[in-house]
Amino acid sequence: MRSAGGGRHGRWRAALLALPLAGCTPALVPPAAPVPPPAPAPRIVDDADFHLSGAIEQGGLAMGIAPAGTAALLLDGTPIGHAADGRFIVAFDRDASPVARIEARLADGTILRRSLAVTPHGWKIESLPTLPRGTTPTSEFLARRKIELNQIVAARAIDSGSAGWRQRFIWPVAGRISGVFGSQRIYAGEPGAYHSGVDVARPTGTPIVAPADGVVILAAAAPFTLEGNLLMIDHGMGLNSAFLHLSRIDVKVGQAVRQGEVLGAIGMTGRATGPHMHWAIKWRDARIDPVPLAGPMER
């Protein structure tokens, strides 16, 4: 016969044995989320047609039309702009590589691209056996020059939205070309800086006009150390003109100018040995030759 105490002990023993079993009940684990399939590789089309016309050469500029549906346009991997109608410009630095690649990325992921053969240019190079005479720049000059260069960089970063880049450029002034783009001197084997624009020699006070529509992005309040009275015009789409050594500037920063409008007058301010206009053009970081852009000079 079982005692009452034995019954109680049995019930406690059964309850204690049940506790670990309750603690070991497995938790409910949600099912793993389905892994999406990898995105398909974009469709790539080589030798696409960008309707390019112009000078695909060192120091040259060309205009093109982006394919329909283009969401982004790139030159050598760097995004460049294009207008709503698809038109765009590309330019090639004086020392551009022999091959460039233009690429359009469409909204549907398709990539259209084309390799461009950039024609080399035979620049005027002069070799001299000796080093140039010069003086060591003073700390005052270097400090002032840094401020001037910062102003130039800030001006070139301005996008005015001008459509002057679409126009056929004209010469700002007609006259004797006294300096050509890309020319360079080699001193005792050391290359000097190349000439980054075209020089037109005319008497001091000869008016110069806007080569295309644009907006004034820099009008020097005082002569720069090298450039003298410097004027810069943005033509839109990353294209801008600079006019150096002017005797006067007739326009103000922010002013819209029209092709053929008088901007100022030729002079010899800054580092110049005689009165002339130095005209330089840049597209983004590429320095380009104004001559093929403006065409033959009419006198």
Mean pLDDT, residues 81-87 taken together: 96
Question: Which sequence spans correspond to the domains of the chain?
Answer: 44-117, 125-294
Q: For 116-134, what is each residue's pLDDT tens digit? A: 999 999 898 888 877 777 7
User: How much is the pLDDT for 18?
Assistant: 47
Read off φ and ψ for residue 25, nearest 5 degrees: -65, 120
What's 125-294's CATH class?
mainly beta
User: How much is the pLDDT for 12?
Assistant: 45
Q: Contact, 237 vs 89, CB < 8 A?
A: yes
Three-state secondary-structure class, residue 218: strand
User: How much is the pLDDT for 191?
Assistant: 82
Q: Name 6's Cβ contacts closer than 8 Å, sequence gap at least 6.
A: none
Q: Could you count the other beta carbons within 10 Å of the beta carbon of residue 145?
A: 14
Q: Quick check: 37 pLDDT over 50? A: yes
Q: What is the pTM of this model?
A: 0.83
84 CB-contact burial (10 Å; exposed 0-12 / middle 13-18 / buried 19+): exposed
Q: Contact, 251 vs 264, CB < 8 A?
A: yes
Q: Which of 17-26, 242-251, 283-292 has the lowest mean pLDDT?
A: 17-26
User: How much is the pLDDT for 4?
Assistant: 47
Write the CATH number of the domain with boundaries 44-117.
2.60.40.2470
Identity at 177, one-letter amino acid code: I
